[in-house]
A and B are shown apart, each in its own frame.
Chain A
Amino acid sequence: MKKDRTPSLLLAALVALLILGLVLPEWRFLGTLAIGKGLTVLGLLLLLRTGLVSFGQGLYYCLGAYAAGTLGQFWGTTDALLLLVVAGLAAGLAAAILGILLAAYRGIFFSMLSLALSMILYGLLVKSAALGSTDGFNLPAPTLFGLPLVSHDSRYPLFVLACVLGVAAALAMHYYFRTPLGRLSPAIRDNEIRVEYLGASVRAAVHVKYVIAGILAGVGGALTGMTVGHIDPEMAYWTTSGEFVFVAILSGTGSVAAPFLGSFIFELVRTFAYEYSPNSWQLALGTAMLLIIVFLPAGLWSLVQRRRA
Chain B
Amino acid sequence: MSKKLIVPVALSLAAIAASAQAQEAPPFKIGVVTFLSGAPAGPFGVPARNGAELVAEALNDGAMPAPYATKGFGGRPIELVFIDEAGGTTKQVSEYRNLVQRQNVDAVVGYISSGDCLAIAPVAEEMRKLTVFFDCGTPRIFEDASYKYVFRTGATGTMDSVAAAMYVKEIKPNATKIAGINQNYAWGHDSWNDFEAAIKALMPSVQIVTSQMPKFLAGQYGAEISALLTSGAEVVHSSFWGGDMEALVLQGAPRGLFSKSTVVLTTGETALPKLNTRVPEGTVIGARGPYGPFAPDNAINQWLVKSYEDRYNVRPTYPAYKMTQAILGIKAAYEKAQAANGGKTPNQDQIIASFEHLEFEGPGGTVRMALGKGHQAVLGTAYGTVKHENGQAVVTNVRYYPAEKVNPPEGVKSEDWVKTALK
A→B interface (CB under 8 Å)? 25-26, 29-30, 33, 126-127, 129, 132-138, 141, 150-152, 224, 228-232, 234-235, 240, 267, 270-271, 274-275, 278-279, 281-282
Q: Are B115 and A232 in contact (CB under 8 A)?
A: yes
Contact A151-B126, Cβ < 8 Å, known A29-B94, A136-B115, A230-B93: yes
Which residue on A lies nearest to B83, using beta carbons?
A278
Taking a contact as CB atoms closer than 8 A, the residue among B93, B186, B189 that contacts A228 in the complex is B93
Query: Within 8 Å CB of B193, what residues of A?
Result: 129
Classify the secondary structure of B's interface with A.
Answer: helix
Confirm or deny: B36 has a beta carbon within 8 angstroms of a beta carbon on chain A: yes
B69-110 CB mask vs A (1 if < 8 Å, else 0) is: 000000000000011100111110111011001110000000
Q: Are A234 and B89 in contact (CB under 8 A)?
A: yes
Confirm or deny: B140 has a beta carbon within 8 angstroms of a beta carbon on chain A: yes
A194 to B98, CA, bound (A): 52
Q: A228-B93, A235-B90 are in contact. List 7 more A-B contacts (CB 8 A).
A: A132-B118, A134-B216, A135-B115, A135-B138, A136-B118, A138-B118, A281-B37
Q: How far is the CB of A22 from chain B (nearest CB, A)?
A: 16
Query: Within 8 Å CB of B36, what residues of A?
Result: 278-279
Query: Within 8 Å CB of B140, what residues of A?
Result: 132, 135
A235 to B138, CA, bound (A): 21
Contact A230-B94, Cβ < 8 Å, known A134-B186, A135-B140, A275-B103: no
Interface hits, B185-237 → A, CB 8 Å: 185-187, 189, 193, 216
Contact A230-B89, Cβ < 8 Å, known A29-B97, A275-B103: yes
Which residue on B lies nearest to A229, using beta carbons?
B122
Contact A138-B122, Cβ < 8 Å, known A234-B89, A270-B91, A271-B98: yes
Interface-central residue, A25, A240, A274, by most chain B CB under 10 Å? A274
A117 to B114, CA, bound (A): 27
Confirm or deny: B127 has a beta carbon within 8 angstroms of a beta carbon on chain A: yes
Query: Within 8 Å CB of A30, what residues of B?
Result: 94
Which residue on A lies nearest to B184, using beta carbons?
A126
Query: Within 8 Å CB of B119, what residues of A?
Result: 136, 138, 228-230, 232
Query: Within 8 Å CB of A127, what residues of B?
Result: 184
Q: Are A232 and B185 in contact (CB under 8 A)?
A: no
Contact A152-B97, Cβ < 8 Å, known A135-B115, A279-B84, A282-B37: no
A278 to B80, CA, bound (A): 12
Q: Are A132 and B186 in contact (CB under 8 A)?
A: yes
Confirm or deny: B128 has a beta carbon within 8 angstroms of a beta carbon on chain A: yes
A89 to B157, CA, bound (A): 38
Which residue on B lies nearest to A140, using beta carbons?
B122
Confirm or deny: B253 has a beta carbon within 8 angstroms of a beta carbon on chain A: no
B21-60 CB mask vs A (1 if < 8 Å, else 0) is: 0000000000000001100000000000000000000000
7 tightest Cβ-Cβ pairs between the two chains A and B: A230-B119, A133-B186, A134-B185, A135-B186, A26-B101, A135-B115, A134-B186
Confirm or deny: B403 has a beta carbon within 8 angstroms of a beta carbon on chain A: no
Taking a contact as CB atoms closer than 8 A, the residue among A267, A270, A275, A279 that contacts B102 in the complex is A275
Q: How far is the CB of B124 from chain A (nearest CB, A)?
A: 11
Query: Within 8 Å CB of A136, what residues of B?
Result: 89, 115, 118-119
A76 to B216, CA, bound (A): 32
Query: Within 8 Å CB of B98, what residues of A?
Result: 271, 274-275
Q: How far is the CB of B115 from chain A (nearest CB, A)?
A: 4
Confirm or deny: B247 has a beta carbon within 8 angstroms of a beta carbon on chain A: no
Q: Are B95 and A274 in contact (CB under 8 A)?
A: yes
Q: How far is the CB of A219 from chain B (nearest CB, A)?
A: 16
Q: How far is the CB of B285 from chain A (nearest CB, A)?
A: 25
A33 to B127, CA, bound (A): 17
A234 to B93, CA, bound (A): 14
Q: How far is the CB of B37 from chain A (nearest CB, A)?
A: 6
A256 to B269, CA, bound (A): 54
Query: Within 8 Å CB of A141, what residues of B?
Result: 122, 126
Confirm or deny: B14 has a beta carbon within 8 angstroms of a beta carbon on chain A: no
Query: Within 8 Å CB of B88, what residues of A?
Result: 232, 234, 240
A270 to B84, CA, bound (A): 12
Q: How far is the CB of A79 from chain B (nearest CB, A)?
A: 19
Interface hits, B159-202 → A, CB 8 Å: 184-187, 189, 193
Which residue on B lies nearest to A240, using beta carbons?
B88
Q: Are A232 and B95 in contact (CB under 8 A)?
A: no
Q: How far is the CB of A29 from chain B (nearest CB, A)?
A: 5
Which residue on B lies nearest to A270, using beta carbons?
B91
Query: Within 8 Å CB of A271, what residues of B?
Result: 94-95, 98
Contact A134-B115, Cβ < 8 Å, known A267-B94, A270-B91, A271-B98: yes
A279 to B127, CA, bound (A): 26
Q: How far is the CB of A67 from chain B (nearest CB, A)?
A: 17
Which residue on B lies nearest to A274, using beta carbons?
B95
Query: Within 8 Å CB of B87, what residues of A?
Result: 274
What are 15 sample pairs from A and B whose C-beta atoms fall under 8 A apart?
A26-B97, A132-B186, A133-B186, A133-B189, A134-B115, A134-B185, A134-B216, A135-B118, A138-B118, A138-B121, A152-B126, A271-B94, A275-B103, A279-B37, A281-B84
